[in-house]
Amino acid sequence: MSMLTPPGMGGKYRITGDRYPRMRRPRNRRRIVLAAVAAVTSLGLAGWGTLQLIDVFSGGSPASASSSQANGKACATEAKAQPGEGKPGESGKSGQDKDQGARLPDPSDITVNVLNATGRSGLAKSTADELKERGFRIGKVANAPAGLDKKVKPAGVLMGAPSAETSAALKVLGTQLKGADTRHDERESADVDLVIGDAYKKLTKKKDAEAALTALAAPAPSSSSSRCKN
């Protein structure tokens, strides 16, 4: 046994020369497989990123380009249909006005009859005076007729003809009294009634009524308009 042989080791571990035998660890196949998978994944991500850059600089895919062109044509068609650009003699009302049936009138164009259906005296006059200060025209100020006297439970009832113009006037008047019901009767005149009910305390605060009136008059953006802006 050579002097290089460790004590207690013999057989195939016996060293007979002047050098130790080279002992190699077996190759780890798992590491090789993982390294190959990582390399393939990296190449795939790099290719995908390249395609995305090409898509961005080339203006998008054909499908998205076709969709953009279709939206552009639709927006152009809607722009041609805007009021003021139609044929001579047309009324020029916007699409919202046509949907509402009539333009919202100014309070000074609305004649309001203030009727008291409660047992509290003086409500009709004080309410009429305040509506007048807010710009409404005041018609009749009196007690409610027998069919409504002591029979109106909410804060009030707004009444008028079923025409589109009167309906618009009732919407404007409704901003002045929160919680009032709206009804239509068979009258043919353009005036409207404010019938004061049992739950009435006072008109809506002036600043709140003005804010409600502003919101009512503001045009609601259509989905097609939002699409064209985008």
Q: What is the pLDDT of residues 220-230, one digit of tens each?
A: 665 555 556 55
Between residues 151 and 78, which one has the greater pLDDT?
Answer: 151
Quick check: is 95 in a domain?
no
Distance CA 108, CA 85 (A): 30
CB distance 125 to 101 below 8 Å: no
Q: Structural domain of residue 185, as residue ranges? A: 101-217
Comparing C-alpha atoms, which of 203, 116, 209 is closest to residue 171?
209
Q: Is residue 141 part of a domain?
A: yes
What pLDDT is stored for residue 60 in this prediction?
A: 54
* Dist. CA 41–CA 19, nearest whole Å: 45
User: 112 with 141: CB under 8 angstroms?
Assistant: no
Domain CATH number, residue 209 = 3.30.70.2390
- Residue 191 placed within a domain: yes
Q: Is the pLDDT of residue 51 over 80?
A: no
**Residues 52, 105 within the same domain:** no
User: Phi first, then psi: what are they for 198, rounded to 5°?
Assistant: -65, -35
The string of pLDDT tens digits covering residues 161-195 is 999 999 999 999 999 999 999 999 999 999 999 99
Total domains present in the chain? 2
Cα torsion 45, 47, 53, 59 to 10°: value is: -120
Strands in the chain per DSSP E: 111-116, 137-143, 156-160, 181-184, 192-196
- Torsion angle in degrees (nearest 10) through CA of 70, 74, 76, 80: 160
Provide the pLDDT for residue 38: 79
Read off the pLDDT of residues 119-153 as tens digits, 9 standing for 90 and up. 999 999 999 999 999 999 999 999 999 999 999 99
Q: Distance between CA atoms of 115 and 99, rounded to whole angstroms? A: 31
Average pLDDT over every residue of 15-36: 64
- Can you give the pLDDT at residue 5? 55
Q: Do 107 and 40 sit in the same domain of this protein?
A: no
Q: Which has more confidence, 77 or 217?
A: 217
pTM of model > 0.75 = no
Range name among 108-117, 144-153, 215-224 with the lowest pLDDT average: 215-224
213 and 112 co-located in one domain:
yes
**Residue 138's pLDDT is what?**
98
Q: Is residue 192 part of a domain?
A: yes
pLDDT for the residue numbered 94? 40
